[in-house]
Amino acid sequence: MSKATADWKRVGDRFYRSIRLYTDVFAPDLELENYIVVGAPYSGAVALYRDESKIFAPRGSQAVGTKATIDLYSCAGRLIRQIPRDRGALAAVGWSEDERLLVVGQDGEVRSYADLGTDFTPFSLGHEAEEYGVKSCRFWGTGFVALLGNNRFVAVTRYDEPRPQALASAPPGEVISWAVVPPEYTSSRSVEVLLAVGRTVHVVDAAESEDRGLQAGPFRHIAVSPNGKFIALYTDDGKVWVISSDFQERFSEYDSRVKTPPKDLQWCGNNAVVLAWEDEIHLVGPSGSATSFEYDGFVHLVPDVDGIRVMTNDVCDFWQKVPDACEEVWRLGSSSPASVLVDAVEMLEKKSAKADENIQLIRGNLDEAVNVCVRAAGQEYSVHRQKQLLKAASFGKSVLELYNSDDYVDMTEVLRVLNAVRFYEIGVPVSYDQYIRLTPERLVQRLVNRQEYLLALKISEFLRLPVDKIYVAWARQKVRSSSTDEESICEEIVRKLNGQRGISFEEVAHAAYEDGRGSMAIQLLEHEPRAGKQVPLLLSLGEEGGALDKAIDSGDTDLIFWVLLNLKKKMPLSTFFRTINSRPVASAIVEASAIEQDQEVLKDLYYQDDRRVDGSNLLLSEALSASDTNGSADKLKMAAKLLRDSKDHAPQVAALEDAQKLLKFQEAFERDLQGESFVGLSVNETMGKLVRLGHGKRGMKVKEEFKVGEKGWAWVRLRALVGRREWRELEELSKGRKSAIGWEPYFNEILGAGNPKVAALFIPKCTNLAVNERIEMWLKCGLVKNAAEEALKAKDREKLEELRGKASGQGVVEVERMINLLGRGR
């Protein structure tokens, strides 16, 4: 067994290691130098496509006429998928962190391939991109920036709903190199572009472009570290600079002393930069120290968050800084507790007594040593060394009295998973750090993308993760690829998926639908427990009634309305009405929305359903909105006509006719009484206004014409007269013999208007009231004498005496007299 440090390289005071992940990666006749290689983050798939700038002779398998493809490989070189290229020239190909492949054409059209499939969703980068063409792109985890032919940048920050956004315009001049800082690492929280133009670097974001004022350019390469804190620049004179991303500090400088500029410059983790020439790489560590390494073939760099993969036809290596835990354990001459612990276990295997000695030596730091061993095990790729470290850890913790084994147990679980996916047939050489960042769920998703359903299932069960998505993905695949009869596929799927929690049959059905197997889709959809989810698919399957029913089932009014809007577009109106007719909720929603925006539809609906009153009311509503009285009258006529046939609606017909009549009257009044407006008033208001204007006769006529009740008329007239201060006429009224509303209102209204004299005229007429009330009324008019007379009439001595107190001047005498009168009378 080779030593752990065999593949270590010393760079300055740090150690870097290259781990040979896979050998025999690509077919030997694949001319890698003619290809562009881009890898998905977290050890994801690798996309290979022809570099069109290079001339090549078609030969062998690459026969003339075969279509160009983008080939997706695993890191171990297993071909996963071939994506046909049927469009114009490519500008760039890139990945997102959820392994979505983005293919950007020079015409600005982007195709986004999710889940390593061949189905894509296209979107465009906008007019400018179409016009000037896309030159190149830079990708980060959740978005990308495209450089257009006119030196403008367009950014896309999300793929679920891509919205290309133009950044501030960049300075003119040839762009020598450029890079992006992902939004999560910038202070503005929006993506920034670093762009080398002339001798300097500009920073461009959504709002502005700023010259950073460097002098040492032109910079052939520019790269941003994975954590966004550092920038590496390659100058024309062969130097590598590392500076902070705010351009404030310069950390190191390295002179490659090579005349030809490297073909690529990338970060290896956050602390080293890798330069690549044809078959040679330089690894530049902090403080400018470096090491170089030569490969047998043409190299491609695939950077990742914690290191960099180097791929040639033959091998796939992973370069990274030796993790601290590993360094602590394995470094030559290390006397760290962990290293001693590992030694001790070796001794133990040799049955040497030194084992115990060693343990005693590190007794005090034993728990620390165990922790380091566990951590180091996670960083190892060799199963042998993983075991060695875990054994040490296990031994160490058996010595400790108290130790929380959670980390240890977790690590053993993780390592099982890591080793399983690193296996060359799977080809996902994910490191421990990458795994933590990727999360187990997304790792499982990647396995599903590779159609490794069984492994995905096993891992999910092992890690107690939900498995529904795996089953669904399997079923989708099954639906697509099986050629056996639909009945049996469906049966098999249902048998396998039933009883699993949270299965989305809708997704499976969708796959069937996309595959053109409509009836199977419907059949599968039956099993979907969420009514709402079934709706869109049923709609696309042409099951309109079913879709509407399911939408109503779900209770989600948005969904119901959405289906209805779709149906209305699809169907003839009469069919549409028939569809909603039997579903009250649906018709209610159609009606409610139509009232707000589309009254014509409403008319048709009412007509079709023979809802005459509603139809008539609609016309009435139009009459109200009409611009002139003629229009109103016409609509009112129509509204009345609609109802005339039926006896039940006689009162409403009468009202509608009265409304027309009133309008006519009011117009006539407006003509006769210049300057006064009547239209819009009610019958009572019209009468009131006429009386108030002194046209009592006309008011009376309205009363007769509209058969207004006596009481109503009396009130209206009273209020109008009082409002007009028409005391004379009111006095006249007091001579009347009968009143429909009694006389008290007259008293109250007139008194309220501030005329006690006239009000008092009505008191004697209120014969239906009690004496005391009448006395009150007199008092309210300030007529104590009359009040007293009233009391005298009622022979109420007490009241009289009470009144005496209220009287003044002559009044007192009068009241006194009356008391005496009463006294005598007794």
Partner 1 sequence: MAAHPAVKAINTQEITEKARRGLLQLLEAVRGKKNLVIERSLAGTIGLFVKFSTLQEYGVDKIFFLENHNVDSSQRNIIFLCRGESAKTARMVAEQIKLVRSESQIDHEFSIIWVPRRTRVSDMVLEEHGTLGEATISQLQLHFIPLEQDVLSLELDTAVHDLYLRKDPTCIFASAQALMRLQKQYGLFPRILGKGDNAKKLADLLQKMRSEEEVNAAADSNNSYLTSFGLTPSSVIENLIIIDRDVDFPTVLSTQLTYEGLIDENYGITNNQTEVESSILGGAPAQPQSQNGTTQAPATATKRKLQLDTSDKLYPSLRDANFATIGPTLNRTARRLQSDQQNIHNQDQSIADLKSFVSKLPSYQAEQASLKIHTSLAEELMKVTRSELFNQMLEVQQNLLAGSDPSATHENIEELIARDVPFKTVLRLLCLESCLSNGIRSRDLENFKRQILQAYGFQHVLTLANLEKMGLLVPRESHRGYLNPIGSAAGQTATDWNALRKGLKLWVDDVQEDDPNDVAYVFSGFAPLSVRLVQCILQKSQLYNLVNQPRQPSSAPTGTGWKGFEDVVARIRGATVDVTQKGHDADASHARKTLRGSKEGPKISLVFFLGGVTFAEIAALRLVSAQMEEKEGRKIVIMTTGLVNGGRAVGTAVEKREFGQ
Q: Which is nearer to partner 1, 387 or 637 (CB)?
A: 637
**Position 706 contacts partner 1 (CB under 8 A):** yes
Q: Which is nearer to partner 1, 596 or 798 (CB)?
A: 596
**Position 613 contacts partner 1 (CB under 8 A):** yes
Q: How far is the CB of 166 from partner 1 (least distance, A)?
A: 8
137, 98 contact by CB (below 8 A): no
220, 203 contact by CB (below 8 A): no
For residue 422, is it left (φ>0), alpha (ψ between -120 and 50) or beta?
A: alpha
Residues of span 363-402 touching partner 1 by CB under 8 A: none
Q: How far is the CB of 131 from partner 1 (least distance, A)?
A: 16
CA distance 548 to 315: 58
**Position 468 contacts partner 1 (CB under 8 A):** yes
Residues of span 543-572 touching partner 1 by CB under 8 A: 554-559, 561-562, 565
Residues of span 2-31 touching partner 1 by CB under 8 A: none
CB under 8 A: which stretch of 237-245, 501-509, 724-732, 796-804 binds partner 1? Answer: 501-509
**Listed residue (789, 782, 787) closest to 755, CA to CA:** 782
Q: Please give the structure tokens belonging to residue 162.
A: 């891509």
Q: How far is the CB of 554 from partner 1 (least distance, A)?
A: 8
Give the SS3 label for residue 736. Answer: coil
Between the alpha carbon of residue 66 and those of residues 69, 86, 113, the distances in Å are: 9, 11, 22
Q: How far is the CB of 482 from partner 1 (least distance, A)?
A: 24
Q: Which is nearer to partner 1, 50 or 649 (CB)?
A: 649
Give how many residues touch partner 1 by CB under 8 A: 78
Q: Which is nearer to partner 1, 446 or 799 (CB)?
A: 446
Give the SS3 label for residue 472. Answer: helix
Q: Which is nearer to partner 1, 86 or 596 (CB)?
A: 596
Q: Which helix (H) or strand (E) element contains residue 643?
A: helix 629-644
**Which residues contact residue 444 at a Cβ distance below 8 angstroms, ignoring those fewer than 6 apart?**
456, 459, 460, 465, 469, 470
Q: Which is nearer to partner 1, 188 or 575 (CB)?
A: 188
CA distance 132 to 515: 37
**Position 207 contacts partner 1 (CB under 8 A):** yes
Cis, peptide link before residue 84, omega less than 30° from 0 = no
Question: What CA dihedral angle connects 446, 439, 42 and 162, to 10 degrees?
Answer: 70
Q: Which residue has the tokens 């290390």?
A: 334
Q: How far is the CB of 295 from partner 1 (least distance, A)?
A: 40
Q: Which residues of 418-437 are buried (b: 16+ CB within 10 A; e: fewer)?
A: bebbbebebbbbbbbbbbeb
Q: Please give the structure tokens belonging to residue 536.
A: 């869109």
CB under 8 A: which stretch of 128-136, 174-182, 701-709, 809-817 binds partner 1? Answer: 701-709
Q: Is beta strand 192-197 parallel, antiparallel or unpaired with respect to 175-181?
A: antiparallel
460, 471 contact by CB (below 8 A): no
Q: How far is the CB of 682 from partner 1 (least distance, A)?
A: 4
**Position 498 contacts partner 1 (CB under 8 A):** no
Q: How many CA atoms lie within 13 A of 298 on its CB side?
A: 13
Q: How far is the CB of 591 from partner 1 (least distance, A)?
A: 7
Name which position in 154, 175, 348, 620 contacts partner 1 (CB under 8 A). Answer: 620
CA distance 656 to 652: 6
**Position 768 contacts partner 1 (CB under 8 A):** no
Q: Which is nearer to partner 1, 514 or 658 (CB)?
A: 658
Name which position in 30, 531, 638, 700 contacts partner 1 (CB under 8 A). Answer: 531
Q: Which is nearer to partner 1, 225 or 460 (CB)?
A: 460
Residues β-bridged to residue 84:
69
Q: Which is nearer to partner 1, 463 or 794 (CB)?
A: 463
**Position 80 contacts partner 1 (CB under 8 A):** no
Q: Is beta strand 200-204 parallel, antiparallel or unpaired with respect to 192-197?
A: antiparallel
Residues of span 286-315 touching partner 1 by CB under 8 A: none
Name which position in 206, 347, 766, 812 contacts partner 1 (CB under 8 A). Answer: 206
**Position 436 contacts partner 1 (CB under 8 A):** no
**Listed residue (505, 441, 442, 522) closest to 471, CA to CA:** 505
Name which position in 88, 149, 466, 545 contacts partner 1 (CB under 8 A). Answer: 466
Q: How many CA atoms lie within 13 A of 376 on its CB side?
A: 29
Q: How far is the CB of 670 from partner 1 (least distance, A)?
A: 10
650, 688 contact by CB (below 8 A): no
Q: Which residue has the tokens 């006095």?
A: 731
Q: How far is the CB of 565 from partner 1 (least distance, A)?
A: 6
Name which position in 595, 770, 813, 821 contacts partner 1 (CB under 8 A). Answer: 595
322, 43 contact by CB (below 8 A): no
Q: How far is the CB of 94 from partner 1 (least distance, A)?
A: 22
CB under 8 A: which stretch of 159-167, 373-381, 728-736, 810-818 binds partner 1? Answer: 159-167
538, 519 contact by CB (below 8 A): no
Q: Please give the structure tokens belonging to residue 445.
A: 């998703």
Q: How far is the CB of 506 from partner 1 (least distance, A)?
A: 10
**Position 530 contacts partner 1 (CB under 8 A):** yes
Name which position in 161, 401, 406, 610 contacts partner 1 (CB under 8 A). Answer: 161
Binding mask 162-191 for partner 1 (x = CB under 8 A): -x-xx---------------------xxx-
687, 708 contact by CB (below 8 A): yes
176, 216 contact by CB (below 8 A): no
- Helix axes 557-570 and 544-554, enclosed angle (nearest 10): 160
- Helix axes 573-581 and 584-597, enclosed angle (nearest 10): 130
Name which position in 584, 736, 805, 823 contacts partner 1 (CB under 8 A). Answer: 584
Distance of CA 21 to the CA centre of its chain: 40
Between the alpha carbon of residue 445 and those of residues 70, 98, 441, 505, the distances in Å are: 22, 9, 6, 18
Name which position in 84, 149, 709, 823 contacts partner 1 (CB under 8 A). Answer: 709
Q: How far is the CB of 714 from partner 1 (least distance, A)?
A: 8
Residues of span 710-739 touching partner 1 by CB under 8 A: 711-712, 714-716, 719
Q: Which is nearer to partner 1, 245 or 660 (CB)?
A: 660
Binding mask 746-765 for partner 1 (x = CB under 8 A): --x-----------------
Q: Which is nearer to partner 1, 423 or 462 (CB)?
A: 462
CB under 8 A: which stretch of 44-52, 92-100, 275-283, 676-684 binds partner 1? Answer: 676-684
Residues of span 646-675 touching partner 1 by CB under 8 A: 651-652, 655-656, 658-659, 662-663
Name which position in 741, 753, 771, 822 contacts partner 1 (CB under 8 A). Answer: 741
Distance of CA 428 to the CA centre of its chain: 32
